[in-house]
Each structure stands twice: as structure tokens, then as C-alpha cells.
Amino acid sequence: MKRIVTFVLVTLCLSLQVSAQVKIGVDAGMNLTHFKSHYSHEAQKVGGMGAGFQIGVTVDYEFKRHWMLMSGVSFMQTQSNMELSDGMFPHFPDTKIKLNHIVIPLKVGYNIQISKKLSLIPSVGIYGSYNFSAGKCPLDLKPSSDGKGNIERTKWNPMKGYSYKVPIINLPGYYNNIELDALRHWTYGGVAGLKAVVNGHYTVSFQYYESIKEIQSQCDMRDYGYQLSVGYTF
């Protein structure tokens, strides 16, 4: 019986110690996102970075000597515009890409105590993202085999792709199939940021993220962006 009581007490003490080191919080904010590609003739930016939002739960574990392991899960919505092509011609001169994401980061941070009420936590790590549809988006296309002609406006779902047939000049009855591949559901990348903690509870976070795995291989597109969030740690 003494052994059981001792085991329960030791387990309880360890649990209390671990729970004191683990901090759970909530945060929300905005993001600015765009895409980049190695192939400028197939994918180019249209306009500035698109604005979106995110909301999530954070889980931080602090080791001895102020090192931290930081994770959590967040829902993020992003949007931006690109000029995309299928082959030589820019058949899609203005393509809006609006997406939803479930993002799970894993970062290593270091807690720097600036004062009794303020600490700064720089961090760096990786993230995994599950991307899914945020609905149909505006799409401009040039419905001709040489990429010229008037622009037509339609809609597309980035997670399903888009395709249409255009007649080949001087070849009646023959068509070219112009395609825009769907975006990938799973991507991963790198992330770096800085979190400020005020009075041990209130947080302000800024971070940069960039995809390592391309979200679309046809145009070698990778998403990147900035996030600014405010939150509360319990």
C-alpha cells in the first residue's frame, strides 16, 4: 500500500511540474500571402500580397535554460493573384487563388527575459499544412490557341483545377486542351518568428513562412507569407 501511495504522489508531482512547464494559449490575426516560382514564363505575381486571417491554439513547452518546444494547430485562410500559363502563352492572365489551411508547426525557441513583465521568444522550425477549398475564385482566360484574343471571365476551384478546349487555327475540327492543374492538399515548409509575452499571458507574434514542397508542380508554385497575431496564454 505504501508503494502505491508513493507512486501516486510521485506521479502527481511530476504531472504538476510538467503542467507548469506546458503553456496553452489561443491567438488570432491576419496574414499576407503570395506565390513564387522558378519559371517566370509560367507563373508571375499579379498585384501585391493578398490579405487573409488565421485563428488557432498554441502549445509551448519550456525546458531548463529557457529553451522551448513550440507547436499547436491553426486554421488559416489565404488569397492572392497570379498570371499562369499552360505552355508558351499566358492563357490565365489573372488567376485568383483563395485557400483554407490547417497548419501544424513544430518550432524550437528561446525565452529571453527582458524584464519582469516582458519576454521575447525567437523561434525557427517547420510546418505541415493541409490545404482545402475556400470556394470558387475569379479566373480570367484567353480562349485562343495562341494565347491572344479577348479575355473571358469565369470561375474555378483551385483544389480541382480547370480545363477548356480551344480550336486550332487553320485546322478545323481540331482542338487544344488548355489545363490548369489542381493544387496539392498536403505541403510543408519552414517558419521563423518572434513572440512577445507581456505579463506572462498576453502575446504578440510575428512570423514568416515559406513552403518547401510546391503546392502546384505544373508552374512550380510555392506559397509564402507573413503572419501577425495577438493572443492569450493560460
- pLDDT tens digits along 184-207: 999 999 999 999 999 999 999 999
- Has residue 4 got a pLDDT over 50? no
CA atoms within 13 A on the CB side of 166: 17
Residue 213 has pLDDT above 80, yes or no: yes
pLDDT (mean) for 165-178: 74
CA atoms within 13 A on the CB side of 167: 6
Instruction: End-to-end CA distance of the chain: give it in Å, rounded.
Output: 37
Say if residue 8's pLDDT is above 70.
no
Going from N- to C-terminal start, the domains of the chain cover 23-183+226-233
Strand locations in 111-217 (E): 112-113, 118-133, 137-141, 152-156, 162-167, 175-180, 186-198, 202-211
The pLDDT mean for the chain works out to 88
Question: Per-residue confidence at 17, pLDDT binned at 50, 70, 90?
Answer: very low
- Name the nearest CA neighbour of 178 among 148, 145, 156, 151: 145
DSSP state of 8: H
pTM: 0.86
Q: 2: part of which helix (H) or strand (E)?
A: helix 2-21
Cα–Cα dist 156/99, whole Å: 12
pLDDT digits (tens, 9 = 90+) for 150-166: 888 999 999 999 988 87
User: Residue 18: what pLDDT?
Assistant: 47
For the cut 70, the answer to whether the pLDDT of residue 146 exceeds it is: no
Query: Is residue 232 very low, low, confident or very high in pLDDT (cuts 50, 70, 90)?
Result: very high
pLDDT digits (tens, 9 = 90+) for 94-137: 999 999 999 999 999 999 999 999 999 999 999 999 999 999 99
